[in-house]
Structure 1
Amino acid sequence: MTLEPGSADIVQLAWARRLGFDDGAFAAAAGERLTRADDAARAVQFVRLFGNSALTGPQWALDAAAGLADEELAQHVTLLTITRSHGGHGLGGAALFFADDLPLRQPSEELTVSHGNPEAFQLEAACPPDDVNEVGLSELEHRFTIMHVDDGRRAPVACAAYTEWEGILAHMGVLVAPEWRRRGVGSLAASIAAHEALASGLTLQWRAEVSNKGSLAIARSLGFTAGGIQTSVLLG
């Protein structure tokens, strides 16, 4: 699906606030890279959204990046290189997807969906730590966990969740139990959470590590539109 004309502006407004810029910063940049120096920052972050870009971090990092093109800064290895002497490490690159409407997915059978915390935490305990850290369910306020019921026993198989960014975006994440992957439950859970967020008047945001083929596939299958990339490194 395609975004409504004003949705890209909404996305850039939310990111401008999150990165510490004025509300209209992306619109006023006219294609020029936005920069904001923060010498107390513990990370260097590059974001490109719908053709506009921004870089935040200590002044020395901004100076080192001044002669580099956006395409270079979008590469995690570039940020690692310019921050090596300051202990740059971790995080990486993520594709950003957005949606202001999505087709409604209907389950083939009746589902049990939990909104509680214990079920989401139980699911995290059954998943690899790298997956748990990438999704960050504990940081996502609204959780929708699909439960599998067998002989009266209930077990979580997938959880989709979102939290509000700046009262504008629903930042989403999905975690699926390893034995239930490639069976459509992740997409179904994501559809449930997405429509709850849309009903609250939020624009949807999906962030997927560039190497996470499963997360990228879910975003595309649901109808999200690719809108940018976020590349970050931690310092020290």
Structure 2
Amino acid sequence: MLGPASLAYLHVGDFRPAGLDTVDVVPGEPTDLARLLASVTADDADECGLADITSRAFVVRWGNQVVAAAGYRRWPGLVAHLCVLTAPNHRGRGLARAVASVAAADGVANHLLPQWRARPEPSRRVARALGFRQLGAQMSIRIGT
């Protein structure tokens, strides 16, 4: 069983971009994502969904190391399902808000509806800070193996 998770969506009129005045967010490369994903627990890597994005990745670098990344997976119905990850030792600095801001803006520019799925409360707080509104919940159950 996976969940429950909140499902939040972003209306363009509610969007509150954040963190871009203090952090440079740049396009990332697949190797950047692989290194960041390898630096976190398997649970964090699975929860963020970053390995499955179909958009470009947007990253924050600390020196030559990627410490935060976001992108989205295009889902049916013109949905941009956001995926965000910050390295554990860099959390609480607004980096998730910064990379998610750019990813959400990219989704909107591509005429998609940004969606945020989250179980952990810190992730839900980031979504709310950007203007996402919780409109539903999700529970996934695997039957058999």
Q: Normalization by structure 1: what TM-score?
A: 0.57
8 Å CA contact 1:100, 1:198 repeated in 2: no
Residue 72 of structure 2 corresponds to 162
By how many angstroms is 1:145 displaced? 1.5
Higher CA-based Rg: 1
Match of 2:60 in 1: 146
Pairs aligned (count) = 141
SS at match of 1:234: coil
Asked if the contact 2:69/2:85 (under 8 Å) is kept, the reply is yes
TM-score, with structure 2 as normaliser: 0.90
Q: CA RMSD of the aligned region, Å? A: 1.4
Task: Confirm whether residue 126 of structure 1 aligns to residue 39 of structure 2.
Answer: yes
| Pairs within 5 Å for 1:14-163 | 90-101=1-12, 102-105=15-18, 107-109=20-22, 111=24, 113-142=26-55, 143-149=57-63, 154-163=64-73
Say if 1:135 and 1:173, in contact at 8 Å, map to a contact too. yes
Gaps of 5+ in 2: none
Would you say the 8 A contact 2:17–2:130 is kept in 1?
no
Deviations for 1:72-119, whole angstroms, at most 9, x for unmatched residues? xxxxxxxxxxxxxxxxxx322110000121123352346251331100
Give per-residue Cα distances to partners, 1:19-49, cap 9 Å, x unaligned: xxxxxxxxxxxxxxxxxxxxxxxxxxxxxxx
Indicate the percent of aligned positions where both proteins have the same amino acid.
Answer: 34
Q: 1:190 aligns with which of 100, 114, 125?
A: 100
Q: Tell me the residue number matched to 2:87.
A: 177
Stretch moving more, 106-115 or 167-176: 106-115
The equivalent of 2:136 in structure 1 is: 228
Question: Does the CA-based 8 Å contact 1:96-1:205 persist in structure 2?
Answer: yes
Work out the CA distance in 1 between the residues paired with 2:58 and 2:18.
15
**Matches of 1:233 and 1:110 in 2, distance apart?**
38
Q: 1:166 to 1:112 in 2, by over 3 A?
A: closer
Q: Which amino acid aligns with 1:147?
A: R
User: 4+ residue stretches of structure 1 with deviation over 3 A?
Assistant: none
Q: Which runs of 5+ in 1 are unaligned?
A: 1-89
Task: Flag the structure with more relative contact order, 1 or 2, with Cα contacts below 8 A and sequence separation at least 6.
Answer: 2
How many angstroms apart in 2 are the aligned matches of 1:229 and 1:172?
15
Contact 2:58/2:99 (CA < 8 Å) preserved in 1?
yes
Deviations 1:126-159 (A, max 9, x none): 111111001121111121111112xxxx000101
Paired position in structure 2 for 1:215: 123
